[in-house]
Chains A and B, each alone.
Chain A
Amino acid sequence: MATYTPTRPIEHLDHGQKPPVPPAGGGGDEGRRDGGPSYGARLRRARLGLICAIATVGMVFVSLTSALIVRRGLPTFDDASRTYFRDWGGVQLPWVLLAINTVILLISSLTMEGARRGLARRAALAPVQSIPGVSLGAERNFPWLGVTVILGFGFLVGQGMAWADLRSRGFFVNTNPDSSFIYLFTGAHAVHLAGGIIALLWAGITSLQHKPIEGRRIVVDVAAWYWHFMGVLWIYVFALLAFAR
């Protein structure tokens, strides 16, 4: 039988790229049973999804920043004097409290990293531990995850205290544009951080349910990178509020 050779053989179609690694199997509804993607593939996908999520959150804060810059430069018309003036306002931030909150968040990033690495290690050793008769000894696991959640809540409480301090000095969300943006940025960051705490609590629940460690490791890994991003984002917000108002 005559054979047809395609006009563009496969090896010339790569455009310098290696062919992608095929998915290990099925996915979808039954992704975690037979035919489901491998642990490595799931982790890679989750991290890729996180990069997309971070891009979106980044766009939210970029747009809020542009709003701040535009609004700060706008004069306001005074009906009484029929003149334009700057009404930006000047809010004295509770610097000490915010600095303490910053330290809490940075420490929580370290504990989060501890949780991520600890779980990665346990996930790597899980196949060895499953061999009958093999023991890794009495390994003590520091509750990094729990400490991170507590520190995360601590940060949110601290931010709440900062808001209370502003209110006690008469600065509400509608007092002036400066106070509006302070509440807006700190609130938006807090909402996103709360999302990270929910992810960590979810990881804790899965550990109580004795589900496979791989799934928990993926949740914690992604939550950890998100958490670090939240730390970086807070430093950005803090710097913005400190220097760009």
Chain B
Amino acid sequence: MLENTPAITARPGLIDTDVHNAFANVREELRPYLSRAWQAYADYHGILMPGTGYNSSVGVQREDARTPSGAMAGSDPDFMITDHLDRFGIDFAILTGSHVLGISVHTDPDWGNAVATAYNRNLAERWLGRSPRFRGSIVVNHSDPEAAAREIRRCAPDKRFVQVLMASGSSRLFGQRFFHPIFEAASEYNLPVAVHPGTEGAGTAGAPTPAGRPTRYFEWHNIVPLNFMGHINSLVCEGAFEKFPQLRFVAVEGGLAWLPQLMWRMDKNYKALRSEVPWLRKLPSQYIRDHVFVTTQPVEEPEKSSHFLQILEMINAPGNIMYSSDYPHWDFDNPRMTLQFLPKEWKQRIFHDNAAALYGLAARSA
């Protein structure tokens, strides 16, 4: 079952694929990277992002992860190194940002584009230069794919950026041709395209479910995978992986236990409805195995851990699942406690090898 996946390295290693760098004061920190016109806008409005209206009753930030000066959790690179990377022996942290993913669901694409560039410039200077263990995501505004593609091409030559990242909240499904300029640019640089939740139902995004809006944060958070299923279904059916054979799609923080259901339903329907998508050359589930990656947190926790293993077997994509902690957010998965029941070989892949292969990260020397 585990063939055709990266070779196991000599040492365990640990790569965290969802770590949120943040801002103590987002306006002050992004302001130097905005044009004069957008500085004036930010001075008046702040770094304005649409909200979902859903607020966690335990807050989003871990209370214990505030910086020593009491600032926003995740806002101090040095403290993140000691509080998270050193504490758990993390070789690489894929930084996924804070606050700014809402640019893609803001009504004004020009504002979104301006913030994307400011964010990425700040990230490169303040974080990626601080430690080689920090690896960046090029944040793009998916509501303006041509501009997003330009931003990818601007940032990608800096190899400290290892993926493109955008909001999973959207008014359109990501397989649609509207978004193809993003995939084209990412493919040019062999960069995976990741999506992260948080904007479902915010701004111009569609409602979090096709039947409308959940009532509370708890309910909203439960159903985030629905949106991920929609996007992955769209990417496969629209032929995005045929048109862009290099494209890898990373579904961050959307769970994975729903994958068997999606794969089975897609494969069954394909046997009947193939003629609608004549550009597909293999079963839909195979496109998922070949192109879609998922991060673990918030990992499903069935009563019997053996059931989780059964799900992994059903998905049958041992190279596509990557550990993530979501540090410093409330639903953090501790790498020393999470998925410890996995057989050694699975642990090696999920906690290190799969991310190392996807992001081209060399294992730390022993």
- A and B associate: no
